[in-house]
Structure 1
Amino acid sequence: MKKITLASVILLATGCAYQPNNYDVTMVLPQQLSAEQTAPLVSDAELTWWLQFNSAQLNQLMAELNSTNLTIEAAQLRLNKSKSLLAQQQADFWPSVSGRASHRSSHSFEDSSTSSSSGFGVSAGYEVDLWGARDAANASAELSVLASQQQLASVQLQLQTQLAGQYFYHLSLLRRFDVSKQNLQAGESLLKLIKAQFEAGSVSGIEVNQQTNSLLSAQNQLMSVERDITVSHRAIAVLLGQSDMQINLANENIDTLTVPQVALVQSAQLLMQRPDIRIAQTQLQLQDANLYQTEQRKWPSLSISADLSASDLLALGNAWSGALSAGLSMPIFNAGKIDQQIEAAKTDVQIALVDYRDTVVQAVKETLDSLTELEYQKNLYQLRLQELDNNQQLYNLAQIRFDSGDTDFINLLNAQRSWFNAKLTFASAKRDMLQANIDVFRALAGMPAVM
């Protein structure tokens, strides 16, 4: 009968490896999210969606964001930590080796004799991965690194869209500030005219008071916009991690920005590139690896160790000895504790599956909502443009008729208010349309198909 050596046992035992389970995560999606790929997929590092707005200032802010934002820095540190934990886990594939050295001296007070002894030894230990549990643990560590990378990508996307939205809001405020100044100047000019007519007896004091109220309202509006600009400036500084709240922003005109032509039908494949969906997929894989490791607790474990020692170190080890041992152990009775741990791990897998489906459902809703909002804002922008042109013509006609004495001051005042309100509304309409595009970029992880 042939002997089974320790080496052959190890070789046989390490033949088992962790094989992840395949879970059915297919879901039916709306027709507006087609199955066909309509845009090339790019890596997270290549996502520069903000370039489509053709804003030099925004491009500069995005470059600063990735290097100065504190939330991104923290996410990068968490990624570095997960890489360190992976390297720590991979070290378990190697045997552990330790050394020891000792020396002892003694003195007898009875006969004044002395003695000394020394020793040296090296020991090594290794736990054989009988059932692939170490493979599963290593897979978990690798998935943790992947999850950290996906979290970093998610944080970057959220902050990039937040920065773009805040910057476009800042530009719209600058436009509102210009309109408010024009409104104030026009109100001051009209008040001078009304006062002159009042002194000439052609209008009453009522008209003077009405225009004064209109002028005060314009002053209040200008102050409010100035405050909002200051607050918006600080919000951008915070995103860039500037504790002194000091940043230099160029006076860019919001009307010069390009509006991307995003298609209203997008690819389902693009949707699946969202960081939150990829994170949910990774969490499912992590729970599967955890289930496998938990199930292996019911099976035997094999460990081997070797020891080499010398009894007299000072004599260069004249009494060497060595030992080689192996041990096999497995749980016999634990009152069903491991079985319950396995059931809990299976439940975690089911929870991860439900979380994945819920994440997809929420992502579909967010994507469709953002596309609906984009279509609405594009149509609304055209209406606001027509309103602006119409109110400008109305004011010009009212001014002409008032100067010729064909209409009263109330009609002119109402026309003036309508015109300036239309200009303020139009300034916000461009920003709202840009924000709707940003929301689509966020919903589709920065990769929507364009027309």
Structure 2
Amino acid sequence: MKKSGCLLIAALMTGCAYTPSDPEGQKSKAQPDVFDIYTQDGAGVDIAENWWSVFNSEGLNALMVRLADSNLTLEEAALRLQRAELILRQSQADNIPDITVSASGRSGKAFDTGTESNSTSGNVGVSYTFDVWGSREATQLGNKLSIDSQQFSRRSAALQVQGLLTSEYFTLLSLEQRLAIAKQNYEAADQLYKLVDIRFQEGDASGIEVSQQQNTMISARGELLRLNYQATLSRRAIAVLLGDETLTAISGEEKLLSFVLPDIELYQPAAVLKQRPDVQIADIALKQADIDVYLAGIQGLPGLSLSGSLSVSDLLDLASGWSVSAAISSAATLFDGGRIDAGKKIADVDLALAWNNYRATTLSASQSLLDSLDNYAYLKAAYELDVASMENNARLYRLAEIRYKAGDIDFLNLLSAQRSWFSAQLSVITSYQQTLSAAATIYQEAGGKPELVTL
């Protein structure tokens, strides 16, 4: 009988350990076919922590330093990571036996005899539950994965707020440059108004032409008012991103057109998708669901607990009254009305949901990355056309102004050339700002580091 009991205990102690059931090769099936021909070895692909430096902007670099120190979203992500680390530390305490110490004392007096009694006792207990089936190991692995998930969540939050700050900074610089152009336009319109008024006084221009130029000046003033308003909102948005409770406005001193457009490869390798935080988080969720399936499968199996104690019956007389005890126990569930079986089925469904989420996340990430690449290529081409249009309209306006002063064309032709030139200047600034923002979006969609064109 003793031999059988020892064999049972030995079998329980050896138990089994958690082994992941999801083969890594399965995940490649979630890779969209469009990336297959671009698949490369992703061993050398890492995440650029300062991806915004590609734009060569000292102002943006300085803002990013402030963002890292004071952004509230990043602070929350750091606290969530700290919480996950503490949960792991808490679960790892189960690897060490529990030790308890207790002491008690009692005094009494009998009313009929007046006899007094006093007693004291002490006890030191040790208990430990063996991880027979690897449940504790699997739980701690799940907690480690939670830390990884929070790290990627923190990275995702960083990419999001960095992208917002970059885009907002580009917008602010665009607005300030458009304001400068709008002021120049207003001054040019005012000069032209004076020229038309002189010709009107000399009888060479009509009152309609004077009124038309006055309307142009009114529109220019309205544009100045609108741009000033939008710049105020942009500065306030940047202050909020920087966690500035005073909402102190900043001003951009850089020229938008001095920024460098990165030469991004339009065909990215599949490994780029794997560095995206959302794909990594979906992968971790899949692993955690697999752990839950294992934990549900070992529910109800016999466990093994060992406890022991050392006690003394009289703390005032440590030379006697000592005793020691030990106990070993094991219990298994024989009937629970189907609770454990239902738990296994729920875990299987959760695993299927996690797998579906992984595939959906990968597919959505692929679409977003491809869309951002196409958008960047389109905006770069559109910007080049806008530059050509601005240069052409500048030549037309200069020629129209010369011919108008010589009396070769009427005022409407000059006015049309002037408006076209003003509009073309603003379009170039807006177009470049959109192209820069599109480049920043690619860095976000690529998890911080897209492949660049190599010469």
- Specify if TM > 0.5: yes
Q: What residue in structure 2 maps to residue 380 of structure 1?
A: 382
Q: What residue in structure 2 maps to residue 141 of structure 1?
A: 143
More displaced 10-residue stretch of structure 1: 30-39 or 198-207: 30-39
2:202 aligned residue (188, 195, 200)? 200
Q: What residue in structure 2 maps to residue 157 of structure 1?
A: 159
Q: Which letter maps to 2:442?
A: V
Q: What residue in structure 1 maps to residue 272 of structure 2?
A: 270
Q: What residue in structure 2 maps to residue 280 of structure 1?
A: 282
Q: What residue in structure 1 maps to residue 40 of structure 2?
A: 36
Structure 1: 4+ residue segments shifted above 4 A: 4-8
Q: Aligned partners of 1:136, 1:293: CA distance in 2, in Å?
A: 8
Q: What residue in structure 2 maps to residue 52 of structure 1?
A: 54
- Mark the runs of 5 or more structure 2 residues left unpaired by the alignment: none
1:194 CA displacement: 1.6
Alignment of 1:292-441 (within 5 A): 292-316=294-318, 318-441=320-443
Deviations 1:15-74 (A, max 9, x none): 52111112412234304861124894225xx52111110000111111111111000000
Q: Aligned partners of 1:294, 1:331: CA distance in 2, in Å?
A: 13
The 1:33–1:96 alpha-carbon spacing in structure 2 relative to 1, beyond 3 Å, is: farther
1:8 CA displacement: 9.1
Paired residues of 2:239 and 2:250 also in contact (CA < 8 A): no
Q: Aligned partners of 1:335, 1:303: CA distance in 2, in Å?
A: 25
Q: Which letter maps to 1:18?
A: Y
Q: Aligned partners of 1:32, 1:243: CA distance in 2, in Å?
A: 48
Paired residues of 2:35 and 2:270 also in contact (CA < 8 A): no
Q: What residue in structure 2 maps to residue 9 of structure 1?
A: 9
Q: Aligned partners of 2:257, 2:401: CA distance in 1, in Å?
A: 28
Q: Which letter maps to 1:20?
A: P
Paired residues of 2:145 and 2:288 also in contact (CA < 8 A): yes
Structure 2 length-normalised TM: 0.95
Q: Which letter maps to 1:320?
A: W
More displaced 10-residue stretch of structure 1: 61-70 or 21-30: 21-30
Q: What residue in structure 2 maps to residue 96 of structure 1?
A: 98
**Count of aligned pairs:** 449
Q: Which letter maps to 1:232?
A: S
Q: Which letter maps to 2:159?
A: L
More displaced 10-residue stretch of structure 1: 4-13 or 323-332: 4-13
Q: Which letter maps to 2:451?
A: A
Paired residues of 1:14 and 1:128 also in contact (CA < 8 A): no
SS at match of 1:446: coil
Alignment of 1:195-274 (within 5 A): 195-274=197-276
SS at match of 1:393: helix
Paired residues of 1:33 and 1:266 also in contact (CA < 8 A): no
The 1:253–1:392 alpha-carbon spacing in structure 2 relative to 1, beyond 3 Å, is: same
SS at match of 1:321: strand
The 1:233–1:171 alpha-carbon spacing in structure 2 relative to 1, beyond 3 Å, is: same
1:303 CA displacement: 1.2
The 1:33–1:383 alpha-carbon spacing in structure 2 relative to 1, beyond 3 Å, is: farther
Q: What residue in structure 1 maps to residue 170 of structure 2?
A: 168
Paired residues of 2:35 and 2:269 also in contact (CA < 8 A): no
Q: What residue in structure 2 maps to residue 18 of structure 1?
A: 18
Q: What residue in structure 1 maps to residue 71 of structure 2?
A: 69
Paired residues of 2:12 and 2:303 also in contact (CA < 8 A): no
Give the superposed CA RMSD: 1.8
Q: Which letter maps to 2:27?
A: V
Paired residues of 1:69 and 1:240 also in contact (CA < 8 A): yes
Q: Which letter maps to 2:21?
A: N
SS at match of 2:33: coil
Q: What residue in structure 1 maps to residue 84 of structure 2?
A: 82
SS at match of 1:297: coil
1:247 CA displacement: 4.8
Deviations 1:254-309 (A, max 9, x none): 11111100011111011111000000000000111111111111311111111111
Paired residues of 1:311 and 1:317 also in contact (CA < 8 A): no
Paired residues of 1:39 and 1:447 also in contact (CA < 8 A): no
1:4 CA displacement: 6.6
Q: Which letter maps to 1:206?
A: I
SS at match of 2:28: coil
Q: Aligned partners of 1:39, 1:119: CA distance in 2, in Å?
A: 64
Q: Aligned partners of 2:41, 2:323: CA distance in 1, in Å?
A: 69
Q: Aligned partners of 1:77, 1:5: CA distance in 2, in Å?
A: 49
Q: Aligned partners of 1:272, 1:256: CA distance in 2, in Å?
A: 33
The 1:235–1:107 alpha-carbon spacing in structure 2 relative to 1, beyond 3 Å, is: same
Q: Aligned partners of 2:385, 2:314: CA distance in 1, in Å?
A: 97
Q: Aligned partners of 1:296, 1:125: CA distance in 2, in Å?
A: 22
1:109 CA displacement: 2.8
Q: Which letter maps to 2:38?
A: S
Alignment of 1:108-123 (within 5 A): 108-123=110-125
Q: Aligned partners of 2:334, 2:35: CA distance in 1, in Å?
A: 56
More displaced 10-residue stretch of structure 1: 361-370 or 198-207: 198-207
More displaced 10-residue stretch of structure 1: 310-319 or 214-223: 310-319
Q: Which letter maps to 1:99?
A: V
Q: Aligned partners of 2:182, 2:36: CA distance in 1, in Å?
A: 42
Q: Which letter maps to 2:188?
A: A
More displaced 10-residue stretch of structure 1: 279-288 or 298-307: 298-307
Paired residues of 1:32 and 1:266 also in contact (CA < 8 A): no
The 1:76–1:33 alpha-carbon spacing in structure 2 relative to 1, beyond 3 Å, is: farther
Q: Aligned partners of 1:335, 1:145: CA distance in 2, in Å?
A: 36
Q: Aligned partners of 1:91, 1:82: CA distance in 2, in Å?
A: 15
Q: Aligned partners of 2:317, 2:262: CA distance in 1, in Å?
A: 83
Q: Which letter maps to 2:349?
A: T
